[in-house]
Amino acid sequence: MPGIDDSFRKKIISIVLGLAFGLFGLELFLRLLGFGYTVIYNLPQDKGAQFRIFCVGESTTWGIGADNPILQSYPHQLEEMLNNKFPEIKFQCFYDNTIGQNTSEILRKLPAYIKDYRPDLMIFMVGINNWWNLDHSNILLFNKNKLISESVLRISVFLDRFRVWKLLKWICYSMGMKKERWDYSYYKGHKYESIQETAILEKQCNFDIFDKIAYYDLKEMIKICNRNKIKMVISSYPRRAVGGIYSIQNKISREFNIPFADNYLFFKKTANTKEYISSDGWHPNGKGYKLVAENIYNCILNNNIIK
């Protein structure tokens, strides 16, 4: 009997070690894959521009959904528009190529953005990832739900630092929770059957806490920019997702008297909107990013940000 127990114990240890090494290998592979992607789609090189703009965001700022994210992202197209409008001034738009980051992660990085890029203007399109990515999230500042213990949240925040965990979550959301992620209205070209479903879902899932995080983080970002005398534009996403990010962006804009580039309303009024959205149903395509760039460009001009 002792021999059988010993054999069983060795099998368990082998399985556990195999799983551990497998997960470690997958984590390493995903990180190397992400590194390789950023090398292929590298960041803009500093050209010593006279007017420097840093576009703060994630995948929608980087240009995911376009055939060529580098050339078709809204920062690149905005840069071209400004250089054509003001040939006597050299403009350059910078951005971070990290996708999926939440507002708390961006807040942590903001001082480095300012130090490295010395922007005259910062454009904020942030908040959409708060509800699914808790990496370094400030969620513990706002959790008042006694059913959700602080230790559970700390574990969730810790796990979201790993690519494997995020990949598993993404697979789960893609397979069974797609309606929890997006509002489909104009993309499908008809009134959504999901408007009521989205409202019910927001109430059930208590998205308020993620909106509170976005509000807090954005306020802190604005304070940092004001201390550094940097002009700002708040930009909404072209699509409206679950939660109140759009309302938070609008509220922040009014509260701090910051110009608001309303891309959601701009896209909503555009005929055949689905022609400007990529196949994933959320990100714009190259033509869509041109609309975003045009709307932000008009916001900059209408508010006399460039003198």
Q: What is the pLDDT of residue 192?
A: 36
Q: What is the pLDDT of residue 105?
A: 95
Q: What is the pLDDT of residue 189?
A: 38
Alpha-carbon dihedral 111, 112, 116, 119, rounded to 10 degrees: -30
Domain boundaries, the chain: 1-40, 46-302
Spans in the chain with pLDDT lower than 50: 1, 176-205
- Give pLDDT tens digits for 281-298: 899 999 999 999 999 999
Report the distance separating Cα 167 and Cα 93, nearest Å: 30
Phi-psi region of 99 (alpha: psi -120 to 50; beta: other; left: phi over 0): beta
Q: What is the pLDDT of residue 13?
A: 75
Report the distance separating Cα 276 and Cα 267, nearest Å: 9
Residue type, 6: D
**Helix, strand, coil percent content, the chain, rounded in steps of 5:** 60, 10, 35
- Give pLDDT tens digits for 50-64: 999 999 999 999 999
CATH topology of domain 46-302: Rossmann fold (3.40.50)
Say if pTM beats, i.e. exceeds, 0.95. Answer: no
Report the distance separating Cα 176 and Cα 236, nearest Å: 27
